[in-house]
Amino acid sequence: MTKTWWKSSIVYQIYPRSFKDTTGNGIGDLYGIIEKLDYIQSLGVDIIWLCPVYESPNDDNGYDISDYRKISEEFGGDVAFDQLLAEMHKRGLKLMMDLVANHSSDEHPWFQQAKKGKDNPYHDYYIWKAGSPDTPPNNWQSVFNGSTWEWNAETEEYYLHLYTRKQPDLNWENPQLRKEIYAIIDFWFAKGVDGFRMDVISLISKRTEYKDVPKDMSFIDVMEKVYANGPKIHTYLKEMNQEVLSKYDIVTVGEGPGVNLEHGPRYVSDQEKELNMVFHFDHLTLDFGPDGKYDPVPVDFIRFKAIFSQWDEALGTTGWNSIFLGNHDFSRIVSRFGNDGEYREKSAKLLATVLMTLKGTPYIYQGDEIGMTNVSHDHIDAYDDVETRNAWAAAEAAGKDMDQFLKAVHWQSRDNARTPLQWSDAKNAGFSQHTPWIPVNENYAQINVDAAEKDPNSILHYYRKIIALRKAHPTLIYGEYKDLLPADPHLYCYKRWDQEATFLVIHNFSDTPTNWKLTEENHSLIQSNYSEVLATELSPWESRIYSLD
């Protein structure tokens, strides 16, 4: 196993719109991040992953880029960005940007040109199919509902968009387009950026026959077998690596919808020379029901554990995992995998321990370090997210029970994770002087950074401790992993070991006390989220780390 800085690093993810507003327009900005760099550094993290901050009409909050080389004025523009990068590097923090190269905005000059005529030099930067306005080329459904095909009257063709119609897919078959993308990557590396998270990178190679999807295929299968892992994906990633990535000492993580155990190792193993890590979604789609994300079913805990074990095994010693439980596209981790009521504090600490003791690079999403929770607005109008709104409209059109659907929105909406970061109990949670672009969570008076700083027992202080603990013990980073109780319905118990040390980590993922006794004689307890530790029982959401001799 090779050891590198990005394997031993911890990543903190920022969703800039919701982080900190300094200009009083209700939208977070880069100066807000600069203001909070000392706070971020105090956590003990090494890398900041910044969600897109480029120029964008914001149909999908920056995941629709209209200028890949310009920072949006809304966020402070290029001047703010240069200052942010300098201030981060001064503190030894690295910056991972977000590369959105499966699609651009329809307002990008490339698309503006492309749609004008079939002989326009940019036309082939996108994916077109002939047809008539009432018959799309196939039955593909966009991730955000509706056909993936949009009619362009000027050329009498359809263009493909796997996301919104304002996010046309780029044509990676075109070598000139690929060159443009590599030049963009190079531009940012030359500026000093330390890496990229690559948005839906598993989707860039299309199955160009564009065959209909079988009617009864689940969304997860469509992703894996139809949209993702196309025939040239590894050719493109190898080329990208060769042309640009390999020239810098940087980190890459590919967002990998549809990347499963079979495909995963190819994207990240050392020999393949493609990416450093991927985000797979096996554990985050466990609650998708027969009708997908907004038809949720309970998470199968045994499967949840098995997924971590299977990926650990699949990546072996030549690949490397990313360890994350949520991000800006999923609900709050404490609400989804913990208990955000009575056991919010305990379960948030347990989840922090999971993140810091599994094998892989841990990713913390902003606000999880203070145990921020989901929101439950009673009206759809309080939701901003295009995915949520489109899913709502589709459900309404299908005549679904909308009270029931609102419950699904409460559980699954991406806005759960996008509410403004709760800095204090001041107006708007100390996020902005102005009404925020999206409502703050009502619980901000209790759950906020200020309060957490003052409480020595807070989730925030626990994060700092558990991060420091991981850093102090390379075994927790590189050591081997084995699940000791894979079939237990409540407990997740695993060993991490190498020649230096052995650790046993045990979590009680439940609201009930659970019998458990450590059998190893020579042990010392090095971390727990309870002050009193019982000999034969784990309390609700208790988490412990033992060092074994």
- Catalytically active residues are 199, 255
Query: Site residues for ligand NOJ, window 220-259 (CB under 6 A)?
Result: 255
324, 365 contact by CB (below 8 A): yes
| Binding mask of the shown chain, residues 192 to 221, with x at each position contacting ligand NOJ by CB under 6 A | -------xx---------------------
Of residues 12, 49, 54, 63, which one binds ligand NOJ by CB under 6 A? 63
Q: Which is nearer to ligand NOJ, 99 or 447 (CB)?
A: 99
Under the binding rule (CB under 6 A), the answer on residue 100 touching ligand NOJ is: yes
Q: Which is nearer to ligand NOJ, 17 or 328 (CB)?
A: 328
Give residue for tokens 């759950």.
Answer: 447
Give residue for tokens 């998708």.
Answer: 288
- How many residues bind ligand NOJ, per CB under 6 A? 9
**Among positive and negative, which fits the CA dihedral 415, 337, 9, 253?**
negative
Q: State the nearest-atom distance from the C-beta of 54 to ligand NOJ, in Å.
A: 12
Q: Which is nearer to ligand NOJ, 257 or 420 (CB)?
A: 257
Q: State the nearest-atom distance from the C-beta of 282 to ligand NOJ, in Å.
A: 16
Of residues 55, 157, 295, 329, which one binds ligand NOJ by CB under 6 A? 329
User: Dihedrals φ, ψ of 400, to 5°?
Assistant: -75, 165
Tokens (6 digits) for 234: 């590894």
Q: State the nearest-atom distance from the C-beta of 461 to ligand NOJ, in Å.
A: 30
Q: State the nearest-atom distance from the C-beta of 434 to ligand NOJ, in Å.
A: 24
Give residue for tokens 């969600």.
Answer: 51
Quick one: angle between helices 459-472 and 344-357, nearest 10?
Answer: 20
Q: Using CA atoms, how far apart are residues 313 and 407, in angstroms rounded to an integer?
A: 37
Under the binding rule (CB under 6 A), the answer on residue 481 touching ligand NOJ is: no
User: Dihedrals φ, ψ of 491, to 5°?
Assistant: -100, 140
Q: State the nearest-atom distance from the C-beta of 98 to ligand NOJ, in Å.
A: 8
Q: State the nearest-atom distance from the C-beta of 444 to ligand NOJ, in Å.
A: 24
- Contact residues for 520 (Cβ-Cβ < 8 A; gap 6+): 504, 546, 548
Of residues 55, 60, 74, 369, which one binds ligand NOJ by CB under 6 A? 60
Q: Which is nearer to ligand NOJ, 331 or 543 (CB)?
A: 331
Q: Nearest to ligand NOJ by Cβ — which residue? A: 63
Q: Is 55 helix (H, G, I), strand (E, B) or coil?
A: strand
Give residue for tokens 């077998």.
Answer: 225
Q: Which is nearer to ligand NOJ, 279 or 503 (CB)?
A: 279
**In this structure, what DSSP letter does residue 223 have?**
I
Q: Using CA atoms, how far apart are residues 211 and 214, in angstroms rounded to an integer?
A: 9
Under the binding rule (CB under 6 A), the answer on residue 46 touching ligand NOJ is: no
Q: Which is nearer to ligand NOJ, 333 or 356 (CB)?
A: 333
DSSP annotation string for 396-460: HHTT--HHHHHHHHHHH-GGGGTSPP---SSGGGGS-SSPPSSPPPGGGGTS-HHHHHH-TTSHH
Provide the CA 419 distance to its chain's centre, in angstroms.
16
Binding site for ligand NOJ (CB under 6 A): 60, 63, 100, 163, 199-200, 255, 328-329
